[in-house]
């Protein structure tokens, strides 16, 4: 399934030793036929096994190639969570070891999926050939009480090949001859200088004439910027009136719908929504105290678009039109002044 897969957060050896000792104690007590001590031994084994299972490892899945230098590669990790826990997308600072990080997303499970564990999706690029070590990825899980549990994935390895063929990569550059000397007489140099001077003079005269001829015309003022709400509603009408839905290109439709909503939020509330994940957008909307009746449908649309874009979740034409109507409702509920007229609110 994946190459170079390792796991993180392995069960400590001390717990395994303690469990083994408890099992030995249980067998010894059975021979002595002590019911109370037998119960104590069973409880000790249960605690040790439960502690070992609580530290379930998280595997980093690295897809098989072949991949070449510069190709985007999607790493993923299935993160088991308990009821009420939330997987938080990590901020990797744009790099993961020798790899450049392009995107980090949390992909929630599809509503009809049997596996309810969310997945951590990381798009990386490598610019060196050979075997690249992928270090463990740190991440956090928010517990129901708000506490952040620090976790990490295992490491992995990624094979990258050169974009050149093996013959081209090993070919040596041809021998370069030294530069040839050109014979230039003083007469030719003077003639060249005179020609350049004449061209400069003609250019200056032509520029002066053009300035006098057309200098009286005033530059037309640039049109005022389109308000954020009108721009978003216009983009939404063009998307619904286009051929994306009629051709059944629902994944492309949701990619463009997510972009329209993020551009509107960025222009309306002055924070970089386009370059942020859905979790980061949710954090900024709460920080800016955006109307909760607009927050909920906006985040619901963004999460649905993430599932369709990154997990290829199934959807329908009616659901697609309903999500477009939800975006229209968000815009109409939060209409206001342009971002240029608001105080800076970037994080």
Kindly report, residue by residue over 129-163, the tens digit of the pLDDT: 889 999 999 999 999 988 999 999 999 998 888 87
Question: Does some domain include residue 336?
Answer: yes
| Burial category of 260 from C-beta neighbours within 10 Å (exposed 0-12, middle 13-18, buried 19 and up) | buried
**Domain boundary residue, one of 123, 142, 163:** 163
Residue 114 included in any domain: yes
The answer to whether residue 223 is domain-embedded is no
68: three-class secondary structure by DSSP: strand
103 and 133, same domain (yes or no)? yes
pLDDT value at residue 211: 81
Beta 119-125 vs 72-78: how paired, if at all?
antiparallel
| Same domain flag for 43 and 72 | no
CATH number at residue 100: 2.60.40
Look at residue 293 and tell me if it is in a domain: yes
Q: How many residues does the chain have?
A: 347
Judge if 22 and 41 occupy the same domain.
Answer: yes
Element (H, E) at 198: helix 186-214
**Which residues are registered as beta bridge partners of 140?**
88, 150
- Same domain for 236 and 326, yes or no, is yes
- What pLDDT is stored for residue 171 in this prediction? 60
- In terms of domains, do 123 and 157 share one? yes
- Does any domain span residue 182? no
Verify that 49 and 80 share a domain, yes or no.
Answer: no
Terminal alpha carbon distance of the chain: 40
CB 228 within 8 A of CB 264: yes
- Helices 317-333 and 250-269: crossing angle in degrees, nearest 10, is 10
- Host domain of residue 154: 58-163
**Same structural domain for residues 83 and 39?**
no
Are 147 and 42 part of one and the same domain?
no
Domain count, the chain: 3
Specify whether 94 is located in the same domain as 156.
yes
Specify whether 39 is located in the same domain as 88.
Answer: no
Flag whether 207 is in a domain: no
Question: Which of the listed residues 143, 163, 183 is the one where a domain comes to its end?
Answer: 163
Query: Which of 148, 163, 178 is the endpoint of a domain?
Result: 163
Intervals of the chain under pLDDT 70: 1-57, 165-184, 215-221, 336-347
Are residues 247 and 144 both part of a single domain?
no
Task: Report the DSSP pairing between strands 99-107 and 95-96.
Answer: antiparallel
Residues 234 and 334 in one domain: yes
Identify the pLDDT of residue 13: 46
pLDDT (tens digit per residue) in 204-258:
988 888 887 776 555 566 778 889 999 999 999 999 999 998 899 999 999 999 9
Closest CA to 64 of 161, 164, 163, 166: 161
Give Cα 66 distance to the centre of its chain. 22
Residue 195 located in a structural domain: no
CA distance 94 to 99: 9
What distance in Å separates the CA atoms of residue 315 and residue 308, rounded to the nearest whole number? 8
Sign of the alpha-carbon torsion through 143, 305, 277, 265: negative
Cα angle, residue 38 at apex, residues 33 and 39 outer, rounded to 5°: 140
Residue 183 included in any domain: no
């Amino acid at each position: 399934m994946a190459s170079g897969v390792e796991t993180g957060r392995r069960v400590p050896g001390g717990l395994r030793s303690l469990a083994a000792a408890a099992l030995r104690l249980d067998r010894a007590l059975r021979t002595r036929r002590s019911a109370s001590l037998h119960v104590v031994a069973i409880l000790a084994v249960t605690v040790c096994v439960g502690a070992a299972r609580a530290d379930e490892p998280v595997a980093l899945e690295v897809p098989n190639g072949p991949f070449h230098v510069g190709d985007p590669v999607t790493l993923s990790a299935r993160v088991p969570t308990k009821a009420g826990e939330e997987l938080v997308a990590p901020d990797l600072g744009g790099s993961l070891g020798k790899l450049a990080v392009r995107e980090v997303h949390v992909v929630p499970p599809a509503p009809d999926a049997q596996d309810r564990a969310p997945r951590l999706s990381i798009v990386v690029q490598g610019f060196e050939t050979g075997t690249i070590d992928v270090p463990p990825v740190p991440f956090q899980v928010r517990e129901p009480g708000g506490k952040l549990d620090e976790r990490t994935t295992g490491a992995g390895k990624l094979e990258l090949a050169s974009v050149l063929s093996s013959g081209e990569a090993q070919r040596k550059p041809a021998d370069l001859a030294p530069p040839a000397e050109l014979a230039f007489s003083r007469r030719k140099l003077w003639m060249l200088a005179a020609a350049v001077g004449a061209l400069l003079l003609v250019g200056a005269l032509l520029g002066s004439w053009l300035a006098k001829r057309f200098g009286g015309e005033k530059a037309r003022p640039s049109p005022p910027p389109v308000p954020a709400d009108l721009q978003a509603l216009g983009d939404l009408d063009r998307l619904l009136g286009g051929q994306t839905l009629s051709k059944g290109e629902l994944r492309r439709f949701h990619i463009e719908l997510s972009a329209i909503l993020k551009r509107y939020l960025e222009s309306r509330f002055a924070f970089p929504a386009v370059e942020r994940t859905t979790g980061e957008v949710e954090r900024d909307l709460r920080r800016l105290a955006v109307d909760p009746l607009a927050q909920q449908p906006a985040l619901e649309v963004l999460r649905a678009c993430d599932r369709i874009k990154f997990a290829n979740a199934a959807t329908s034409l009616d659901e697609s039109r309903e999500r477009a109507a939800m975006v229209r409702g968000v815009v109409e509920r939060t209409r206001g002044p342009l971002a240029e007229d608001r105080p800076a609110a970037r994080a």
